[in-house]
Amino acid sequence: MSRRTARKHVLNILFQKDFNADESLEEIIKTYSEEIERINGNDLPFIKDELEGIAANEPVILETIEKFASGWTVERMSRLDTAILKIAIYEMLFCSDIPDKVSVNEAVELAKEYSSDKAPGFINGILGKVIAEE
């Protein structure tokens, strides 16, 4: 499986986590990988690392989103767009092995596939500001 496909799984699990806040991340990953999508065992470590990293750094990630989303709060954004931004910003700030350009491109592609027509530009704009600040 490619990292692009793995990121789709991360997005789906993050989105699911928003609606199942009472369940632990481990429970959601287990349910998702066993009942919803069969995930290749080789890809599970990347998916878990991304999800655990996002969870561990969520306050910083959300603060970064709020800082660069001019006129928007996380509460006003769609949950899907927020989840896409969480993945990209986590990678940009905490994953030195993933180039920022790749994280931005992947986020825009996820937005094109799963979100509204305006989401790719919105997400690209926020991530561009994050890069400019670095």
- At residue 1, the pLDDT reads 56
pLDDT band at 4; cut points 50, 70, 90: confident
Instruction: State mean pLDDT over 112-123.
Output: 96
Domain residue ranges of the chain, discontinuous segments joined by +: 3-133
Q: Which residues make Cβ contacts (< 8 Å) with residue 81, sequence separation at least 6?
A: 111, 115, 119, 122, 123
Residues 64, 86: Cα–Cα separation, whole Å: 9
pTM: 0.92
Please return the burial class of 117, using the count of CB atoms within 10 Å of its CB with bins 0-12, 13-18 and 19+. Answer: exposed
- Per-residue pLDDT tens digits for 44-92: 889 999 999 999 999 999 999 999 998 899 999 999 999 999 999 999 9
pLDDT tens digits, one per residue of 6-42: 999 999 999 888 888 888 988 888 888 877 767 767 7
| Amino acid making up residue 15 | F
Tell whether the model's pLDDT for residue 122 goes beyond 90: yes
Q: CATH fold of 3-133, please?
A: N-utilizing Substance Protein B Homolog; Chain A (1.10.940)
Backbone angles phi, psi at 118, to 5 degrees: -85, -15
Structure confidence at residue 108 as a pLDDT band (50, 70, 90): very high
For residue 91, what are its two tokens?
Answer: 């990678």
- pLDDT over 80 at 134, yes or no: no
